[in-house]
Chain A
Amino acid sequence: MNKSVNKNILFENFAGRATPLQKKLIEAWIQEPNNKELYYEWLDEWENLFIQILPDTEDALEKSLKKIDQSEQIFIVENKQKAQNFLFISKNWFLIAAALIVVFSTSLFLGKDYIFYKNYQTAYGKIETIELLDGSLVSLNANSSLKVPRFGFGNRTREVYLLGEASFSIKHTVDHQRFIVKTSKNFEIEVLGTEFNVNTRYKDAKVVLNKGKIQLNYLEGKITKRLTMKPGDLVIIDPKGKANIQEVTQPQAFSAWRENRYVFDETSLQEVAMMIQESFGIKVEFKEESLTKRTISGTFHAENADELLQVIAELLEINYNRQNNNVTFFE
């Protein structure tokens, strides 16, 4: 076992006082897995000796456990649905019969959509990540829904239906299966494997491509048109079906909401208000008309509506008043 390095040398290294030769020595020494462990053990010891900040561990732990609880609740709901699917492939006839009865009776209440599609729906202020059967990931923004066929998904084609806003990270399949995102607007997106963001919330729908290549099929008037997008392209489709391509330098800014980050680039307060209404279900009003024209730029982190409202108010040096789901900004 290589014992060329002792704690002193390593501490000197952490403190930035090791010579280049000592660094070489350390590099050779950590090649051994046991020494690598020792390196981290001593790093931890050193860090405890020369602590830089004093965070509140208990507070952080409490928050962490809360986050775990929240994500596990979603997990339980998904598992229940998986259990229902399982019944169909079971060899036990009793279970199949029982399942069929359950399915038919629920269909009476919920309609055939419920049998054929699994519907994911996010509440105001909540973001959810969904893993589809083919391994593709979809982050669903607040107040949005995604419908995925329960049967046949991934057999020949993959099709989903989106209302609201979502970011997609699509797995490329071996047989080059197409993935199609249908929307309530006059367009759909066809892809092989890629990352992109779709927003159908507002009058103008927006599609932004991060990686790969996608094809946009849209209806301009009554004519179906096609458009191929490359990374960094932003396409805005107006209600009449006119598509307008722009290049953006930071396509990933459009999916920043996934990290609870909000990116504004000379965005008018009017647009921000619309976003808040869609994402948090909060109606925003302005006492002075002039406020709607003021703009915000920058990236902000906000866990909830209150944090975001506060940031906006501080930034523009204006005030706001919130009563339940109504907010009024004023000078």
Chain B
Amino acid sequence: MTEKTERQPKNIETPLRILSEDSDDIKTLDSEVFIRQTFKENAKKGYELLFRRYYRALCSHAVRFVYSKEVAEDIVGDVFLIFWKNKIHEQITTSFRAYLYSSVRNRAFNYLQWEFRKDSNIDTIPEQNLNQVFEETPQAMLQYDELIQKIENSITALPPQCQRVFLMSRFENKKNREIAEELEIALKTVEAHLMKALSQMRNALDGY
């Protein structure tokens, strides 16, 4: 859990930038200018644009952590709702994109922590980081990239049948019974495969 505190912005050397239309920062954000403008005129419309622009890619990113389509969509949906509820568009100093991606990563990570280490408290997820605009440390950003790799590697390393069962269960949301019937194997075998796959994922999370 000490890792978690490191993810908080500790020393932000440069002060938070106030974004103005004519500052240099706008250069990297130009693809969002239109969305920003729309938020000013009609926040709901802006929200719709933002959602359509990033929803799919964010889900795709979240699923690399959680390996479940349903959970990934929930995470991204929550991040958007929090964005709206806290009027992030009024206080944000980075691009929307940076906020959305770092929030999704954070939330996906917290979800994994909660799922695989039952001792951590799910109640802390919504309040911990997401209600404010925060900045991720470079170290934490790279750690997330590494974590994604570790999870992917641990799943690729599974024996083919085990991997198949895991994906059917977690990704396609199939019931153990359905998997057993479809692959013509015993229910007990399905359970054993899942146990193995989940313990691999737990291993990948160790040290984070």
Contacts and interface: CB of A to CB of B under 8 A. Distances in A.
Contacts of A23: 142
Given A14-B145, A37-B25, A67-B81, A31 B60 contact: no
Interface in B127-147: 135, 138-139, 141-142, 145
B43 to A, nearest CB: 10
A57 B98 contact: no
Contacts of B76: 60
A41 interface: yes
Contacts, number: 118
Interface string B82-94: 0011000000001
B51 A61 contact: yes
Contacts of A64: 51, 77, 80-81
A57 B85 contact: no
Most buried by B among A26, A41, A195, A250: A41
A57 B56 contact: yes
A54 B56 contact: yes
Given A60-B77, A64-B51, A51 B72 contact: no
Interface stretch (B61-69, B158-166, B185-193): B61-69
A144 interface: no
B167 to A, nearest CB: 12
Interface of B: 13-14, 17, 24-25, 28-29, 31, 44, 47-48, 51-52, 54-61, 63-64, 69, 72-73, 76-77, 80-81, 84-85, 94-95, 97-98, 101-102, 118, 121-123, 135, 138-139, 141-142, 145, 148-149, 152-153, 175
Interface of A: 13-14, 16, 23, 26-28, 30-31, 33-34, 36-41, 43-44, 47-48, 50-55, 57, 60-61, 63-65, 67-68, 71, 195, 210, 250, 252, 255-256, 258-259, 314
10 nearest CB pairs, A to B: A16-B149, A30-B138, A47-B57, A40-B98, A52-B60, A37-B28, A55-B59, A57-B55, A27-B138, A51-B60
